[in-house]
Structure formats: C-alpha cells, structure tokens
Amino acid sequence: MYHKVTGPYWMLVQSEVQYLDFYKYVESMHIFLKKCFDEPSCLLQSETKVFDDFSLPMNDVLSSLYDRQPTSTTHPDLTLKLVLKKMSASFVDVIERQLHDFLQGGRYHNIPQDSPLRTKMMHSKLHNLLGEACFGDLDFSLFKRRNASLHHNATINMLKRNKTMSNWFKSKPSYKQKELLKKSSCLAQEIRNKNRIEVRSIQESLKRKLQDTKDEADNKYRELQRTKEDIVKEVRKHGGPCLTLEDVDSLLLEGGKSALKAEIKYQKMVLNQKSKFLRVTGSAADLKENLRNFFHQKEKSDAAISTNAEQKQFTYLDSDEEDLMLASPVPLAPSHQSPSSENEPKSETENSDTEDDFENTDTESEAPSKTVRIDFEYNFSRTGEWIAVFYTDQDGKPYFVVGEVIEVLSETEASVNYLQQCRVRETLFKVPDATDFDAKVKNKFVFAWNILVATTNGRIWTVQEIKDIKMHFKEYLNLYF
C-alpha cells in the first residue's frame, strides 16, 4: 500500500502541482482504489500505478516482495487479500469524505483555464496547503498538541507549513513585518470567533445526539418495564409462575396456549433465563413440551452447580461476620413456620429495656443503607419486591433468608420465593430446590425490604447489600428478642 498509494501521494503533496489541478490526481486515486477494493490482487502486481507522474522507484527489497506474492491462479493468500480490500475501502471512504470537492460534481473539479479563480489561485501550490495532507497531518497535530483548538490547527499549523507564505514574509523589511503582524493580529479575532462558533455548533450537535440516544434508551427501558408488568399480571392471573413439571401440565389444562406463552415470556424476560426451549412459537403441545424441557434442563443445571447436599441449604447469621462463609447451614422448607408466639415481637412496654440497649449499641454500628429500611413496619403492597425475613430453626436459633414477593395475599401476608446463599461468596445466592418455594410470610417478620438483587443468567443472584441486611438483622434481634 505504501509503494502503490501513500508514497506517490506524499510525492504529489510535496510537488509544485497547483491546487486547482489537484482534482486530476484525486479522481485517478479514487478510481484506482475502488478497483483495488473489487480486485485486491492488482496491488500485488508491480507494474500497476496510481499516478503516471508520481511513483516510487523500484528497488531490490520491493522486487523481492512482489516476486514472493502468490498470483491469482496459484494459491492466493485470502487473508492478505481481505486486508488489502479493507484498507482500500478505508482509503476510498477518506477520499469521499475529505476530498469530495475534487471529485466529479465538486466545486474544484475541472475548473476552466480561463476562469478568474485560476488567476486568483495561480500561486496556490499543494505543498502550501495543510488541508491536502489528509492522510497524516491531523494525526501529527494531535500528537503534538492533542487539546489544540480548531483555530490553532486551521491557522497556526497551516502557516508553519506554508513555505511560500513564510519565505515571502521574511523577504519584507522589519517595519513592514511589524505592520503585517499588527494587521493580522486585528483580523485574527474575526477568524477566531468563526472557529469558536463552528466548534460550539459541533458540540451542541453532539449533545443533541447524545440526548436523543439517551431518550431512546429510556423509552425502550420504560417500554420493557411495561411489558414485564403485563407479563407478571398475566402469569398471576393463571395462578403464578410454574415451579415444577406438574405445574406445566396443570397450566395447559387451566389456561391454555396463552397461559403457556405468558409463562415462557415470564421465564425469559422477567427472570432473564436463557434457554433454547424458551420459544413462544408453535402449537400448545409444542409450548408445553418446551416448558417441560426447560424445567428439566434447569433441574439438571442446578444439580450440577451444587457440589454436595450441604450446599443446598441456607446459612445461619454468625455473630462474627468474617466467619459467615464457614457458618453451619440450616435447611429451609415451606413446612418451617414463622416463629411461635413465644418468639413473636414483644410489646412496647415489655421491650423497653431492649430498646435502651439497642439505642446504646446503635452508635457502634454503621449507618443504615438508603435502600434497606430498619423501622420494621412493613406492609405487603406489590409483587417483585425483594425482602429479608426472620426465621428460627427447630432449636430456636435465629437466622434470616432473602426472597422475592410473588403474590400479595393481604397487607400482612404474602407468598415469597426464597434464595439460598452460596458458600463461595456471601453476596452470591442461588435458587433452592422446588420444595423451598412459595412460603407464606407475615409482615411482622420482615425486617428489610427494597433490597437490590441482580442476576445475569437466572441461576446465580447477587445481593450487594448483604452487610447492611446483617446489620439490620442484629438490630431486629436487639429490638424484639
């Protein structure tokens, strides 16, 4: 590419060719590069030229390179041709964008010899004009002064490169040079203002483009949220999400094809599940089979994640937060009821001492999170909210679990799907066995809500606020027990 295009081009730019004759070479280079894009092998032939007047001399190195290149009929190097094709396309794009005034239909294309413009520009040579060095000078300018203004690049750099102008200025006597510099200083402000206006218009256009992109993304997000809400309503209308293969069979009998479609969309769009079986096309029997295959695949994947049976259990809250990863796990199933009456929150009078203790210890704890509440006066109002719930095991030892509200039965009771904490990291959770789903919870045992829970594949969930939840759990215990 250097021997065929860029080398001859630099020879052209540094030559005495007049500005208004530049179109001949631009047009020739444009045609040549478009031909190279269609057939890159022409760049591998030593006899082809982009300009008749300018070409680099052949030497032993170049000759050996051309001799070693494969011909189009003997084992062509496809990778090399693809690279040359891509480079040719880039050059054509630059020419059509930067030098369009010299192409067919441009304002400097084929200016007649008797035109007054030729008389006016008879001393304008290519080597005086920075703008024609469009393949390299901008990179050099950015390298030298990356934050330079448009005025600097368009005037100062151009004057430094304009040999005719600089030599003409040096030939003037000193008093004339001072007059010219004073006059140029007065007139420069007008050019500087024009450049500032142009830069400001570009910046405003960029801001509008960025704002339009942001508005478009916000509209798509709001539309997606509305779609998810409609899907959740449709799933709730048919009894809630499916958890087992038996639920899929009963869903087809009760809701038909529309219910199966809603369930597939719920798994795919709301829970972000990824599976080739989550397709909404086909008959009702096809949708049912897809859902069954999906749940069967999900069960196998969940079993593969768990390294042993103990990993499918929830974790106690240890007093030492650093030992949480090594704490003994406890099982959780829907058969586990909320704490009995003897463990229910005490009355205000009975708990006055505990409240005093809580107030004394509160100064030592961290400030509560903005998203996790600690007033412990929670009422169920919407589905999809993540909450933390107090539990006790059979020995009366307290622990907590994190779950999602899937159905609001009343302000004081709701059905919750729980997550199971992983041992790998305290912020990681996963979906437990199907038998651990759909536990009914009273609002008096909810001590934290509006918890931020994220997932990328529907199998591993992240709860970044786990430290805040543990802190509020301690406060809940100090307040009521």
The CA R_g of the chain, rounded to the nearest whole Å, is 38
The answer to whether residue 172 sits within a structural domain is no
Domain stops at, among 120, 135, 150: 135
**CB contact at 8 A, 429 and 420:** yes
Number of domains in the chain: 3
One domain, residues 353 and 246? no
For the chain, the average pLDDT equals 75
DSSP secondary structure letter of residue 408: E
One domain, residues 440 and 336? yes
- Joined together, the tokens standing for residue 42 give 């022409």
Q: Give the pLDDT confidence score for residue 305 in this predicted structure.
A: 59
The DSSP secondary structure of 195-221, one letter per residue, reads: HHHHHHHHHHHHHHHHHHHHHHHHHHH
Domain stops at, among 90, 120, 135: 135
The answer to whether residue 364 sits within a structural domain is yes
Pick the residue with more confidence: 340 or 16?
Answer: 16
The answer to whether residue 205 sits within a structural domain is no
The answer to whether residue 171 sits within a structural domain is no
Give the distance, in angstroms, between the CA of residue 263 and the centroid of all CA atoms in the same chain: 29
Residues of the chain above pLDDT 90, percent: 5
Q: Residue 207, class by beta-carbon neighbours within 10 Å (0-12 exposed, 13-18 middle, 19+ buried)? A: exposed
pLDDT at 95 over 60: yes
Q: Give the pLDDT confidence score for residue 341 in this predicted structure.
A: 39
Q: Residue 283, class by beta-carbon neighbours within 10 Å (0-12 exposed, 13-18 middle, 19+ buried)? A: exposed
Average the pLDDT over 186-212 and give the result: 88
The answer to whether residue 151 sits within a structural domain is no
How many other CB atoms are found less than 10 A from the CB of residue 149? 14
The answer to whether residue 178 sits within a structural domain is no
Host domain of residue 101: 2-135
- Joined together, the tokens standing for residue 67 give 């001799």
| Stretch among 62-71, 134-143, 167-176, 376-385 having the lowest mean pLDDT | 134-143
pLDDT at 335 over 50: no
pLDDT at 353 over 60: no
The answer to whether residue 68 sits within a structural domain is yes
Residues of the chain above pLDDT 70, percent: 74
Q: Give the pLDDT confidence score for residue 438 in this predicted structure.
A: 57
One domain, residues 28 and 70? yes
Average the pLDDT over 441-459 and give the result: 83
One domain, residues 388 and 338? yes
Q: Give the pLDDT confidence score for residue 274 in this predicted structure.
A: 82
- Joined together, the tokens standing for residue 246 give 């038996």
- Tell me the range of 52-56, 296-300, 330-334, 388-392 where mean pLDDT is highest: 388-392
One domain, residues 422 and 294? no
One domain, residues 279 and 324? no
How far is 383 from 394, CA to CA, in rounded Å?
A: 29
Q: Give the pLDDT confidence score for residue 429 in this predicted structure.
A: 84
One domain, residues 50 and 123? yes
One domain, residues 38 and 99? yes
Residue 94 binned pLDDT confidence (cut-offs 50, 70, 90):
confident
Average the pLDDT over 61-65 and give the result: 75
**CB contact at 8 A, 417 and 235:** no
**Each residue of 307-320: pLDDT tens digit?**
444 444 444 334 44
Residue 219 binned pLDDT confidence (cut-offs 50, 70, 90):
very high
Residue 358 binned pLDDT confidence (cut-offs 50, 70, 90):
very low
Q: Give the pLDDT confidence score for residue 140 in this predicted structure.
A: 61
One domain, residues 269 and 292? yes
The answer to whether residue 280 sits within a structural domain is yes
One domain, residues 124 and 269? no
Domain stops at, among 135, 162, 182: 135
Residue 173 binned pLDDT confidence (cut-offs 50, 70, 90):
very high
- Joined together, the tokens standing for residue 143 give 């390298």
One domain, residues 366 and 277? no
Residue 304 binned pLDDT confidence (cut-offs 50, 70, 90):
low
One domain, residues 116 and 248? no
Residues in a beta bridge with 408: 414
- Tell me the range of 39-48, 174-183, 368-377 where mean pLDDT is highest: 174-183
Q: Give the pLDDT confidence score for residue 317 in this predicted structure.
A: 37
